[in-house]
């Protein structure tokens, strides 16, 4: 159990334990800020270590020529953060009060921690269809994925028929990306028109390798060790048919883990944390910074999450060095304070 002084506020508390959280911790610990990480207590959809704990090989994280499993990568990051003295609690933060200074954070076990600065790195969860075999095959590397850029280039998807589920920009982007490797990409969409932007639609329609199954939902994922096909259901007639595929990429959106922040920090319309200053991790609350997928609805990659984790720790360090809460009390604009560092 890490040492927590309830009287003295923490210099920096990091909430979340994916690549963003651990990178922030490594930087904050090496800057002698003695960070405290709440890594989360785990649930069906989220586990300490973040989204990469649910995948097999990670082939695009720099530094690992032959790839590394998601779990190994996250254990290494955690150990690296610990090596520099990061303190870790396996609990969720369930409530924050950013109106008070120091900030007050409440954990799932009822602990109250006070903090001069906070880094929010709670990530996002890919939405899934909720079919039993979908979840199983996604977890075992059986050809079901929620990240085409991450998994599409793997050997077992090459020159095969692949399905992409969804009708938004992500689905179009995934379908286009997968045409580099696949023999054919079948986009399965529950309506007869796409939600995607016109330009993405045009690109997808123009690609000869992409075909569309309109008014169609996936009713069942087939396959034991690896996916072999899908049972498709016509949303208008209810009729079912089978489609043989060697991969299914689910692209039906993501949900950022921001429920516990309600009313405390400005969120974008889609629920992601707003970072108003370009190339800074400052949020709407001075002293609260955000990193990784929870503030990034666009790139959503491990390396970009790690990059913004580094930025958030540096932003927090500079903010604290320039007076932190006292500078807010003196009504100095935070962006200028940070830039001065």
Active site residues: 147, 150-151
Residues that bind ligand FAD (CB under 6 A): 15-21, 38-40, 46-48, 50-52, 54-55, 58, 60-61, 92-93, 121-124, 126, 145-147, 150, 257, 260, 292-294, 300-303, 305
* CB nearer ligand FAD, residue 62 or residue 238: 62
Shortest distance, position 20 Cβ to ligand FAD, whole Å = 3
* Closest to 40 (Cα-Cα) out of 7, 78, 83: 78
| Residue 256 near ligand NAP by CB under 6 A | no
Pair of tokens at residue 52: 């990469």
Q: How far apart are CA 76 and CA 35, in angstroms?
A: 18
Which among ligand FAD, ligand NAP, none contacts residue 40 (Cβ within 5 to 8 A by kind)? ligand FAD
* Closest to 196 (Cα-Cα) out of 216, 176, 180: 176
Phi, psi of 192 (to 5 degrees): -105, 10
Q: How far apart are CA 216 and CA 218, in angstroms?
A: 7
CB 341 within 8 A of CB 318: yes
* Closest to 311 (Cα-Cα) out of 277, 273, 281, 341: 281
Shortest distance, position 122 Cβ to ligand FAD, whole Å = 3
User: Taking CB under 6 A as the rule, which mask of x and - marks residues 194-223 in contact with ligand NAP?
Assistant: -x-x--x----------------x------
| Residue 167 near ligand NAP by CB under 6 A | yes
Q: Please give the helix or strand (H or E) that residue 139 lies within, else none.
A: helix 132-139
Shortest distance, position 54 Cβ to ligand FAD, whole Å = 5
CB 119 within 8 A of CB 148: no
Q: How far apart are CA 124 and CA 297, in angstroms?
A: 9
Pair of tokens at residue 25: 């911790």
Which among ligand FAD, ligand NAP, none contacts residue 64 (Cβ within 5 to 8 A by kind)? none
Name which of residues 269 to 298 contact ligand NAP (CB under 6 A). 297
Shortest distance, position 59 Cβ to ligand FAD, whole Å = 6
Residues that bind ligand NAP (CB under 6 A): 129, 165-171, 173, 190-191, 195, 197, 200, 217, 252-253, 297
């Amino acid at each position: 159990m890490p040492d927590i002084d309830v009287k003295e506020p923490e210099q920096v508390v990091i909430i979340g334990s994916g690549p963003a959280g651990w990178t922030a911790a490594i930087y904050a610990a090496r800057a002698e800020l003695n960070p405290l990480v709440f890594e989360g207590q785990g649930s069906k959809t989220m586990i300490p270590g973040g989204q990469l704990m649910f995948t097999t090989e990670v082939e695009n994280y720099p530094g690992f020529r032959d790839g590394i499993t998601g779990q190994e990568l996250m254990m290494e990051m955690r150990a690296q953060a610990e090596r520099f003295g990061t303190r870790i609690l396996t609990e969720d933060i369930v409530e924050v009060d950013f109106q008070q200074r120091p900030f007050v954070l409440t954990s799932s076990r009822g602990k109250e921690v006070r903090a001069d600065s906070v880094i929010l790195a709670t990530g996002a969860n890919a939405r899934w269809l909720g079919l039993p075999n979908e979840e199983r095959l996604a977890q075992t590397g059986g050809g079901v994925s929620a990240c085409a850029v991450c998994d599409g280039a793997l050997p077992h998807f090459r020159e095969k028929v692949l399905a992409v589920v969804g009708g938004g920009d992500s689905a179009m982007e995934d379908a286009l990306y997968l045409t580099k490797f696949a023999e054919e990409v079948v986009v399965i969409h529950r309506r007869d028109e796409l939600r995607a932007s016109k330009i993405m639609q045009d690109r997808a329609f123009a690609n000869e390798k992409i075909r569309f199954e309109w008014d169609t939902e996936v009713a069942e994922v087939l396959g034991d060790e690896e996916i072999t096909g899908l049972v498709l259901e016509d949303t208008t007639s209810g009729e079912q048919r089978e489609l043989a595929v060697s991969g299914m990429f689910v692209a039906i959106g993501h949900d950022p883990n921001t429920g516990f922040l309600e009313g405390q920090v400005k969120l974008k319309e889609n629920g992601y944390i707003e970072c108003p200053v370009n190339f800074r991790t400052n949020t709407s609350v001075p002293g609260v910074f955000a990193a990784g997928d929870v503030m990034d609805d666009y790139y959503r990659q491990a390396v970009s999450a790690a990059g913004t984790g580094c930025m958030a720790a540096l932003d927090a360090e500079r903010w604290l060095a320039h007076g932190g809460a006292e500078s807010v009390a003196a009504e100095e604009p935070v962006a200028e304070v940070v830039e001065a560092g």
